[in-house]
Structure 1
Amino acid sequence: MNGLFEVLLRTLAAFILIMIITRMLGKQTIFQMTYHDFVAAITLGAITGNLAFNTKLNHWSIVVSLLLFSGIAYLVTIISLKSRKSRKWLSGKPTVLIENGKILENNLKKQRLTLDTLIQELREKDIFDIQEVEFAVLELNGRVSVLKKPEFRQVLIKDIPKFTGQIQSKTTFPVELIMDGVVVKGNLEQNQISDSWIHNELKKRKLTLSEVCYAVKGTDSKLYFDLYTDKIKNPIDKE
């Protein structure tokens, strides 16, 4: 009976600890299961399981191990937030699977994905004809995001007044220009965009690089800037 009572107490303690640790690590651990999140989730689950029912192991040793590993996972999360280079190594980066309607077989092989898996992902998004797809991207959380070709997209209310029956035929893949206030040099070089051009665009908008959190050249080739200062008086906060 004492053994059963000990398991009960250990299970309760394990539940409380893992709830506190999950809150500490943040919602991204649940929402976006990246490489280090996956490793952290498995390891924390194993340690918590031992704390709950493995009465042969000293409970304090397991608690110390649990707290230590949680601290490491939290530190890795902070490093990922502070450094884009570290984030790419720790979390990986999105992979384009379809570009301009063409399947990139080499990228499928690199990610160990089969055509069957890709087609299944498209079907789950109600795309049964692969010819409808302009771009498909394998995201960090393992999901596939899809941008349809213009002629297969839904018409929005804002498009109705200017709709002429002619569909835009040119779509470009979004180009991230600034991430976390830092110019993404690799993307500029890959898309033949000069460093002076992005600084001129900032100057036109009377912005400095330090003010910009994120900048992207969208599918319609228009620039979008998101600033650190949102100027929202009453932001929605469901916390």
Structure 2
Amino acid sequence: MAMWLDIIIRSAMAFTLIMLITRIIGKHTISRMTYHDFVASITLGAITGNIAFNTHLKTWHLILSFLTFSGIVYLVSFISLKSRWSRKWLAGRPTVVIEKGKILEQNLRKIHFSLDALNQELREKDIFDPQEVEYAILELNGKLSVLKKPEYCPVTRKDLGLTGSAVPQFPVELVMDGKILTDNLRQSGLTTGWLARQLREHGVSAEEVCYAVKGTNGELFYDLYEDRIRHPVDQE
């Protein structure tokens, strides 16, 4: 077999394997990267890379290694789900870095987290003044959770006495890339005729629409293929 064809087949096989294992392990591995997930992703990535390009090693040996390690990862994930003790040992614990408005320098040193990094995380949450923070916790995935002091918390609808207002609806996509999503229409109790009437009221046809969604307020939002903007902003 030609070398280039062997690499193509191995690469396709590696991609298929990593996609299957990712689906089996679950979305949580992508959304939150703990110690266990970090080690697993690095090792699986290394084995997958060898499957794709390392022609000096037998493919089936690498696949066996990949499947074995994937089984270990799945087993560890299952054990972590069932046992709180093992979950703490494998994933670690959240670390409080600000308590009652005071920065806990000792905790920062334990997790090798600098004040510069803390300030950056706060700024990413639109907090430029640390005195606004009551509690800050560094989560298992490395993200910072913040509880502001009461005087700095934003006003809610409940504060304004607007709790009796209508509950927002879940947005429903009706047109995507110019194609009407009939399944979404049917599940929402709508018809293509209703959509056509709504668009006619705005003076457009379905053929002109690139994207349309029934928003949280129940109103139709649409975007046309032709933007009709004379001088669009183009950042290079």
TM-score range normalised by the length of the shorter chain: 0.5 to 0.7
Shift of 1:159: 1.1
CA-to-aligned-CA distance 1:154-201 (integer Å, 9 cap, x gap): 111111249xxxxxxxxxxxxxxxxxxxxxxxxxxxxxxxxxxxxxxx
After TM superposition, the runs of 4+ consecutive aligned structure 1 residues lying more than 2 A away are none
CA-to-aligned-CA distance 1:47-67 (integer Å, 9 cap, x gap): 000000000000000000000
CA-to-aligned-CA distance 1:201-235 (integer Å, 9 cap, x gap): xxxxxxxxxxxxxxxxxxxxxxxxxxxxxxxxxxx
Q: Give the structure-1-normalised TM-score.
A: 0.67
2:37 counterpart of 1:43: no
Letter in 2 for 1:33: M
CA distance in 2, matches of 1:161, 1:16: 53
Q: Give the structure-2-normalised TM-score.
A: 0.68
2:19 maps to: 19
2:2 maps to: 2
Secondary structure, counterpart of 2:56 in structure 1: coil
2:93 maps to: 93
2:111 counterpart of 1:111: yes
CA-to-aligned-CA distance 1:94-152 (integer Å, 9 cap, x gap): 00000000000000000001101000100111100000000000000000010100000
1:158 maps to: 158
Aligned sequence identity (%): 64
List runs of 5+ in structure 1 lacking aligned partners: 163-239
CA-to-aligned-CA distance 1:14-52 (integer Å, 9 cap, x gap): 000110011111111111100110000000000000000
2:144 maps to: 144
CA RMSD of aligned residues (A): 1.1
2:78 maps to: 78
Letter in 1 for 2:120: Q
CA distance in 1, matches of 2:160, 2:21: 50
Letter in 2 for 1:141: N
Larger radius of gyration: 2
CA distance in 2, matches of 1:160, 1:22: 45
